[in-house]
Structure 1
Amino acid sequence: MDRTSTILIVARDGTEWVDVVDHLADDYGYRVLVVQGSAEALATLVDVHVDLVVAEMEEPAESGAALLTELRVSHPDIIRILILDADAPGIGRAISQAAIYQFLRKPLDAEQLALVVKRGLETRELARRHRILSREFKVSDNAGLLDLHPSLPFRAESMRFEKLVYASEKMAELCDVARQAARTELPILIQGETGTGKELLARAVHYNSARKASPLQVQNCGGMSDELLQSELFGHKRGAFTGAISDRLGLFRAADGGTVFLDEISEVSPSFQVSLLRFLQEGELKPLGSDKSLICNVRIIAASNRRLSMLVAKGEFRQDLYFRLKGFEFEVPPLRDRVEDIPVLAEFFAAKHSEAIGRKILGISASLIEKLVHYDFPGNIRELENEIRRMVALAKDGEYLTTRNLSPALQAAAPRRTPRRRPGSCLRVRP
């Protein structure tokens, strides 16, 4: 496989899993995440692309089996392994409902589990390749139905950086550098238009860093007063201001050892920029109403839909803070500048939202793809997702998505100039 596989372990007590985690990570090279319950597991799956889940079956609640049953519907591509107590009775129903790949009994044997994990991942990869081949044959058989267009470029396979899905060279280069940046401790500045996926990139960086086992806290800085932002990030003591009826920890202290993502950093006031600069320089914070400074170890990832360098030139943003924030600086390109990503994103959103409402969508017609790539998408990925979500809601079960339910703005999009198609290439549509 072209990337490190991710294993999510859902366990009651992490201490008995230490040898297993070390064996999977050190000897097999997997990325291993450990959580303590179904709620934490589902929250992790929102941000992280997981290939295989290992869950304990807890008696009498059987939460591990219930989680795997839920994943069978919400994340059918994830391989599911169930761990049972040695004397666990009546497991047949749980195994059947969850459609698990394999179950193992305690006591755990690290090598045995690692081999089952390896075989499960191999099975997953074979299933993926089978789907691709089946799709190619289906496209060939239904060429008339799908209205293949000779001017459309060949569509490459999608790539992923956690929940970021892309096929373009621009995004591939950006994500490659982001993976390297994740392994450092430097702050990161992400810039780009609204809706381009800046927060998804920040979450991907966190979950590929050494801080992945610690919290990720998110704060949107737009439209907030200095006092409220100080309270949210640095915390406050009871009575520090009107309405402060109890102490507040603050996101920096809540994320100690982890990451804080500050969105719309360009909107903070000059006075708050000073407070943030001191924190970045010294790692010290002082809660509102307190005269005691505290040390906090967090990594800052900041995002802005306005170029900070231009704000610095205008005197609207501190230059020293800008240089502190840009340990690594990323510019996420708008969707109109990476049209190669539109087909794979449309396919991803169609699968995501059809699964969410239990509707079977066979694929996306080439005529619809043609319309999508000709539109500029001022709202970027967020606008594309909303469009596909609406079309899935209007489609009938067992249909392809076509231009029939396309919104008027996209229907009216004028064709853009596209590169000449390579000889022998074709549009691939994933059912």
Structure 2
Amino acid sequence: MQTEHTVLLVSADADFLATATEALGADQDYRLIHCRSEQEAAARLNELQAHLIICDADLIGDESANVLVSARISHPHVARLLFGSTAAAERCAGIARRAASYLYVMKPVPRDLIRLLAKRALELSELSRRHRVLSRELKISMDDDIFAQREEFSVKGGWSQFEKLVYVSAKMAELCAEARQAAQTELPVLIQGETGTGKELLARAIHFNSKRMNSPMHVQNCGGMSDDTLHSELFGHLRGAFTGAVSDRLGLFRAADGGTIFLDEISEISPSFQVSLLRFLQEGEVKPLGADRLYHADVRVIAASNRPLEKLVEKGEFRRDLYYRLKGFELHIPALRERPEDIPVLTEFFVEKYAGVVGRRVVGVTKDVLAKLEAYAFPGNVRELETEIRRMVAVAEQGGYIAARHLSPVFDRVTVRRDDAFDLPADGSSLKQMVETLEKRAVTASLQRHHWNQSRAADELGLSRVGLANKIKRYGLQNA
């Protein structure tokens, strides 16, 4: 688990940055991420798991609408400290009041004071978190047993977190351990997994746990783009290189020099562009469209695909040498249906996240809702779960629970398997009849889990599609 506290240091003041870095940078309990603007700080809040924002008021443009005020609502668990010049003391007081900052302090600030204030702000933030959890658990314990007692939601915290990835399952724990190892190297990383599993979140986590964390990370989706457009986006172009090129374009490879670039849907690039990308990975060479000279860029590439590249290589649709070049580390994110034990903790995480965003107090989630969520196959994976939780938080009553009536209509068709769902009939049935009864129930349950996708159900049951069709016909099963 992540032990250090991540601090966003938001300032363009060289002296203040140097002092704050000296105060916290050498301490192994802290990880400093430098942000030169409010916009960059807001982006980092959504990309990594931050614990403290140290913000320079001289960088804030609007006293009432700024990154600190926004963080108070969207990221209430993140502690906030404000520093400013003596000449703007009154303005600092106004910003601190609106943002509910722990303190505001006038510059210049001694190194030891920065260290002390950071420690105290984090301690208060942790105490506030424990108070919120205890208050919620006390309310739940007084309810009429509509909640399951879930030890993992206690004050101690029962989930693990790798930046924005939340999990308890062994599969995700192993994946994140591999990702942490990958982050400490300079090797390319290939992330594979279904749509909605969190490939970009994992890529950002790797970047922000690497030595390149204070350098830029750029994202490019390679799907549905022509070669010229993609070449222009990544390698850049000169003015007049093609129709519509009215000015020079640097390109993401050169813009990310020293940092990381994330190439999503890498399986969609054409054979000719695969050659250009391979050359960049081998030599670090960048040749903009219309240019005569070569440039070099030191960029770490993290690629992702929702289609298995190894199978594409076997079909001749993807270059084998590029595949091996990309997979310095190869990480596979399991689908959500393969790790249902993560659904309750993800639900809790998203409830807390979106309750703060919409300013709505939600006490908790009933066990009926959790049972439905755990029984659902989630073809859209974590993204679909997050969308569902966000919608339920928005429609739930203020100060109430998220109950079954708040679920989307798609969950009406979800059957929750009872613990006794596979009990044998006790009516003198023969062994053959009992086996057929169990087989019928197993086939029905698998079909319901996969929304009657017979290919997936057959794969889960270890049957051919024809074999499954025969059993559906034999038992007279119908999609309700």
TM superposition score normalised by structure 2: 0.81
Q: 2:267·2:307 contact (CA, 8 Å) conserved in 1?
A: yes
Q: 1:181 to 1:244 in 2, by over 3 A?
A: same
Q: Give 1:428's aligned residue.
A: none
Q: CA deviation at 1:357?
A: 2.2
**Alpha-carbon separation, structure 1, partners of 2:375 and 2:344:** 11
1:258-280 CA-to-partner distances (Å, cap 9, x unmatched) read: 11100010111111111110100
Q: Give 1:211's aligned residue.
A: 212
Letter in 2 for 1:313: E
Q: 1:360 to 1:29 in 2, by over 3 A?
A: closer
Q: Give 1:302's aligned residue.
A: 303
3-state SS, counterpart of residue 205 of structure 2 = helix
Q: Give 1:79's aligned residue.
A: 79
Q: 1:34 to 1:273 in 2, by over 3 A?
A: same
**Alpha-carbon separation, structure 2, partners of 1:79 and 1:355:** 15
Verify: 1:396 aligned to 2:397, yes or no. Answer: yes
Q: 1:58·1:64 contact (CA, 8 Å) conserved in 2?
A: no
In structure 1, list runs of 5 or more residues that go unmatched. 420-431
**Alpha-carbon separation, structure 2, partners of 1:154 and 1:44:** 28
Q: CA deviation at 1:14?
A: 3.1
Moved more, 263-272 or 70-79: 70-79
3-state SS, counterpart of residue 81 of structure 2 = strand
1:282-297 pair list within 5 angstroms: 282-297=283-298
Q: Give 1:423's aligned residue.
A: none
**Alpha-carbon separation, structure 2, partners of 1:8 and 1:65:** 18
**Alpha-carbon separation, structure 2, partners of 1:78 and 1:53:** 7
Q: Give 1:340's aligned residue.
A: 341
Query: Which of structure 1's runs of 4+ aligned residues deviate more than 6 A?
Result: 152-156
Q: 1:353 to 1:22 in 2, by over 3 A?
A: same
Q: 1:60 to 1:327 in 2, by over 3 A?
A: closer
**Alpha-carbon separation, structure 2, partners of 1:383 and 1:163:** 16
Q: Give 2:408's aligned residue.
A: 407
1:359-378 pair list within 5 angstroms: 359-378=360-379
Q: Give 1:55's aligned residue.
A: 55
Moved more, 71-80 or 349-358: 349-358
Q: 1:233 to 1:131 in 2, by over 3 A?
A: same
**Alpha-carbon separation, structure 1, partners of 2:56 and 2:353:** 27
Q: Give 1:429's aligned residue.
A: none
1:118-129 pair list within 5 angstroms: 118-129=119-130
Letter in 2 for 1:254: A
Q: Give 1:321's aligned residue.
A: 322
Q: Give 2:31's aligned residue.
A: 31
Q: 2:191·2:199 contact (CA, 8 Å) conserved in 1?
A: yes
Q: 1:65·1:95 contact (CA, 8 Å) conserved in 2?
A: no
3-state SS, counterpart of residue 240 of structure 1 = coil
Letter in 1 for 2:273: F
**Alpha-carbon separation, structure 2, partners of 1:269 and 1:401:** 47
Larger helix percent: 2
Q: 1:56·1:64 contact (CA, 8 Å) conserved in 2?
A: no
Greater C-alpha radius of gyration: 2
3-state SS, counterpart of residue 81 of structure 1 = strand
Q: CA deviation at 1:414?
A: 2.4
Q: 1:214 to 1:63 in 2, by over 3 A?
A: farther
In structure 2, list runs of 5 or more residues that go unmatched. 421-480
Q: How much is the aligned-residue C-alpha RMSD, in angstroms?
A: 2.4
Letter in 1 for 2:260: T
Q: CA deviation at 1:72?
A: 1.8
3-state SS, counterpart of residue 248 of structure 1 = coil
**Alpha-carbon separation, structure 2, partners of 1:356 and 1:129:** 20
Q: Give 2:163's aligned residue.
A: 162
Q: 1:237 to 1:95 in 2, by over 3 A?
A: closer
1:191-206 pair list within 5 angstroms: 191-206=192-207
Letter in 1 for 2:242: F
**Alpha-carbon separation, structure 2, partners of 1:324 and 1:45:** 32
3-state SS, counterpart of residue 237 of structure 1 = coil
Q: Give 1:225's aligned residue.
A: 226
Q: CA deviation at 1:211?
A: 1.1
Q: 1:84·1:105 contact (CA, 8 Å) conserved in 2?
A: yes
Query: Aligned residue pairs: how many?
Result: 416
Q: Give 2:188's aligned residue.
A: 187
Q: 1:240·1:288 contact (CA, 8 Å) conserved in 2?
A: yes
Q: 1:330 to 1:173 in 2, by over 3 A?
A: same
Moved more, 152-161 or 185-194: 152-161
**Alpha-carbon separation, structure 2, partners of 1:317 and 1:373:** 36
Q: 1:264 to 1:59 in 2, by over 3 A?
A: closer
Q: CA deviation at 1:64?
A: 10
**Alpha-carbon separation, structure 1, partners of 2:25 and 2:212:** 15
Q: 1:61 to 1:375 in 2, by over 3 A?
A: closer
**Alpha-carbon separation, structure 1, partners of 2:138 and 2:248:** 63
3-state SS, counterpart of residue 306 of structure 1 = coil
Percent sequence identity over matched residues? 54
3-state SS, counterpart of residue 340 of structure 1 = helix
3-state SS, counterpart of residue 189 of structure 1 = strand
Q: 2:369·2:402 contact (CA, 8 Å) conserved in 1?
A: yes
1:24-44 CA-to-partner distances (Å, cap 9, x unmatched) read: 121343101121222221121
**Alpha-carbon separation, structure 2, partners of 1:239 and 1:192:** 40
Letter in 1 for 2:406: N
**Alpha-carbon separation, structure 2, partners of 1:133 and 1:400:** 16
3-state SS, counterpart of residue 172 of structure 1 = helix
1:4-15 pair list within 5 angstroms: 4-15=4-15
Q: 2:351·2:390 contact (CA, 8 Å) conserved in 1?
A: yes
Moved more, 132-141 or 177-186: 132-141
The higher relative CO (CA closer than 8 Å, separation ≥ 6) is in 1
Letter in 2 for 1:226: D
Letter in 1 for 2:10: V
Q: CA deviation at 1:401?
A: 0.6
**Alpha-carbon separation, structure 2, partners of 1:281 and 1:94:** 50
Q: 2:188·2:326 contact (CA, 8 Å) conserved in 1?
A: yes
TM superposition score normalised by structure 1: 0.90
Moved more, 13-22 or 70-79: 13-22
Q: 1:215·1:255 contact (CA, 8 Å) conserved in 2?
A: yes
Q: Give 2:280's aligned residue.
A: 279
Q: 1:251 to 1:59 in 2, by over 3 A?
A: closer
